[in-house]
C-alpha cells in the first residue's frame, strides 16, 4: 500500500469525542453539546416549503443548479445581508453547505503549506479542523471578553510575515461566548489591510443576540474585498439543511464556485428551493425573535444557577448571544482530568474541556458550557452537580 498524503497526519479524531462519548449515558447531564434546540425547528413552515418546492416547482427544484446556488435564494440572502448593513447583491453570494464548507473553500483558495493562520485564543475547533488539511501554521492572538486584541494582533502580524488569513468568530464566539467590540472591529480590518491578509468572518450565531442590537459585521468595514463573511441557517433554521453562504466580491465568488463545483457540484437544489420558499412565505423575523427569547431565557437560567452555586474562584462569561458560556477554573485545575476522573463518573455531569479549542498553547483550566438543548430543571441540577463535584474533587486536584 502506498502512504496516504502527508496532510492526513493532521486529520485525526479529536480527543473530546472520546470524552463526550462517556457522557452519552442518559444519567449524565451533558452541557457538552452545541446543537441548536430541535424544539425550535420550524417544522410546519419548512414542511409547507418542501411541499411547495416539489409540487409547485417540480422539475426545477429537483434538477441540477449552478454551483453558486439558485438565483432567487442568493437574491434573498443578499437582501438579508443588506438589512444587516453589508452593501451587496446576489452576485456577491455563494451558497455553501454550511459555514463549515466555507472554511474549507477559503483554506483551499488561500493556503499553501506553512502559511500562517491567525486565530482567536481559544478558537472554534471546527475552524482548525477545517483548515488543517491545507497544512497551515497557527498563531493564536490574545483574546479577552471584548474579542481579539488588536494590539497583540499587530505584534503577531509583524512577527509572522507569512501570515495570510485571520479566522475569527466575532459574534458570540464558540467556545467563549465573547463578542468583538465595535472599536476593535474597525481596527482589526484596518490591520488586515495594512498587513495584507484576508479575514474569514464566521458568524453562525450572529442572529441569536440577546441585546437590543448587533454590532456591524467586519465585512461592513471592508473596503477592498479582503473580508469573507460567512453566514449559516444551521443555528436559526436547522443544521440538517446544510445551508450557509459566503459574501465576497463577484470575481472571488466565481473562483470559489469553481472550487465548489470540483468538491460537491452544488448545494441541494431542493433544500435551497425550500429555504427560498420559506423566506418568501413564512415569518423568518418572528422565528428569529422566538429563538432569541428561548436562548436568552436559558442563558439567564444558566447564569443565575452559576452565580448561586459556584465558588468565587470559578469565573464564567455571560454571553450577549449565542449558545455557550466559558468557565475559568483556578490555574492549577486541569478540566480534562476534573471531567474524566470526577465530574463524569462521580457527579454525573459533563461539559467540554477547554484545552480542545486551542490552535496552539492550550489552557487546561477552562471549559465550554453549552445550554441550548437542556430544559431549565436539568440546567439547575447540572450546575448543582458541577459545583458539588468540584467541591468534592478540589483537594485532589
Ligand X SMILES: Cc1ncc(COP(=O)(O)O)c(C=O)c1O
> Which residues contribute to the site for ligand X (CB under 6 A)?
34, 98-100, 124, 126, 169, 174, 202, 204, 232, 234, 239, 244
Contact 337, 1 (CB under 8 A): no
Closer residue to ligand X (CB): 245 or 390: 245
Residue nearest ligand X, Cβ-based: 98
Q: Cis before residue 121, ω within 30 degrees of 0?
A: no
Closer residue to ligand X (CB): 99 or 347: 99
Closer residue to ligand X (CB): 208 or 314: 208
Query: What distances in angstroms separate CA 111 from CA 149, 195, 229, 297, one per listed residue?
Result: 24, 16, 17, 41
Residue among 131, 130, 170 at smallest CA distance from 153? 170
In angstroms, give the least distance from the CB of 324 to ligand X: 9
Q: What angle do CA 331, 313, 369 make, to 5 degrees?
A: 80
In angstroms, give the least distance from the CB of 34 to ligand X: 5
Closer residue to ligand X (CB): 147 or 204: 204
In angstroms, give the least distance from the CB of 124 to ligand X: 4
In angstroms, give the least distance from the CB of 302 to ligand X: 18
In angstroms, give the least distance from the CB of 369 to ligand X: 14
Closer residue to ligand X (CB): 272 or 347: 272
Q: Which three cell numbers stand for residue 248?
A: 465576497
Long-range contacts at 181-184 (CB < 8 A, ≥ 24 apart)? 181/146, 181/147, 181/215, 182/215, 182/216, 184/146, 184/147, 184/148, 184/149, 184/150
Contacts of 381 (CB under 8 A, 6+ apart): 29
What is the distance between the alpha carbons of residues 203 and 111, in angstroms, rounded to a whole number?
A: 21
Residue among 383, 377, 365, 391 at smallest CA distance from 303? 383
Closer residue to ligand X (CB): 118 or 310: 118
Closer residue to ligand X (CB): 100 or 268: 100
In angstroms, give the least distance from the CB of 143 to ligand X: 14
In angstroms, give the least distance from the CB of 244 to ligand X: 4
Amino acid at each position: 500500500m502506498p502512504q496516504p498524503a502527508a496532510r492526513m497526519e493532521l486529520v485525526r479524531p479529536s480527543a473530546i469525542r472520546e470524552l463526550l462519548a462517556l457522557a452519552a449515558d442518559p444519567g449524565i447531564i451533558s452541557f457538552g453539546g452545541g446543537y441548536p434546540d430541535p424544539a425550535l425547528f420550524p417544522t410546519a413552515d419548512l414542511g409547507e416549503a418542501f411541499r411547495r418546492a416539489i409540487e409547485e416547482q417540480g422539475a426545477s427544484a429537483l434538477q441540477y443548479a449552478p454551483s453558486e446556488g439558485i438565483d432567487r435564494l442568493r437574491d434573498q440572502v443578499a437582501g438579508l445581508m443588506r438589512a444587516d448593513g453589508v452593501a451587496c447583491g446576489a452576485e456577491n453570494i455563494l451558497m455553501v453547505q454550511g459555514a463549515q464548507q466555507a472554511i474549507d473553500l477559503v483554506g483551499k483558495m488561500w493556503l499553501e503549506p506553512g502559511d500562517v493562520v491567525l486565530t482567536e485564543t481559544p478558537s472554534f475547533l471546527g475552524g482548525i479542523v477545517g483548515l488543517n488539511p491545507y497544512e497551515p501554521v497557527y498563531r493564536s492572538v490574545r483574546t479577552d471578553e471584548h474579542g481579539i486584541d488588536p494590539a497583540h494582533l499587530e505584534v503577531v502580524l509583524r512577527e509572522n510575515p507569512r501570515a495570510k488569513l485571520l479566522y475569527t468568530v466575532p459574534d458570540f464566539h464558540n467556545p467563549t461566548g465573547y463578542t468583538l467590540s465595535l472599536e476593535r472591529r474597525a481596527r482589526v480590518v484596518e490591520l488586515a489591510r495594512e498587513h495584507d491578509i484576508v479575514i474569514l468572518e464566521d458568524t453562525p450565531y450572529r442572529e441569536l443576540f440577546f441585546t437590543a442590537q448587533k454590532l456591524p459585521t467586519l465585512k461592513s468595514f471592508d473596503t477592498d474585498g479582503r473580508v469573507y463573511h460567512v453566514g449559516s441557517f444551521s443555528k436559526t433554521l436547522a443544521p440538517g439543511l446544510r445551508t450557509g453562504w459566503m459574501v465576497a466580491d463577484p470575481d472571488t465568488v466565481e473562483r470559489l464556485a469553481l472550487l465548489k463545483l470540483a468538491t460537491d457540484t452544488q448545494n441541494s437544489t431542493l433544500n435551497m428551493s425550500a429555504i427560498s420558499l420559506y423566506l418568501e412565505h413564512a415569518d423568518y423575523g418572528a422565528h428569529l425573535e422566538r429563538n432569541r427569547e428561548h436562548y436568552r431565557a436559558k442563558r439567564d437560567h444558566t447564569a443565575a444557577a452559576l452565580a448561586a452555586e459556584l465558588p468565587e474562584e470559578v469565573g464564567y462569561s455571560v454571553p450577549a448571544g449565542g449558545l455557550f458560556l466559558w468557565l475559568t477554573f483556578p490555574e492549577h485545575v486541569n478540566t480534562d482530568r476534573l471531567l474524566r476522573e470526577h465530574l463524569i463518573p462521580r457527579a454525573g455531569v459533563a461539559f467540554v474541556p477547554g484545552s480542545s479549542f486551542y490552535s496552539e498553547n492550550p489552557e487546561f483550566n477552562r471549559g465550554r458550557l453549552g445550554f441550548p438543548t437542556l430544559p431549565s430543571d436539568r440546567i439547575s441540577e447540572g450546575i448543582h452537580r458541577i459545583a458539588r463535584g468540584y467541591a468534592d474533587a478540589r483537594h485532589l486536584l
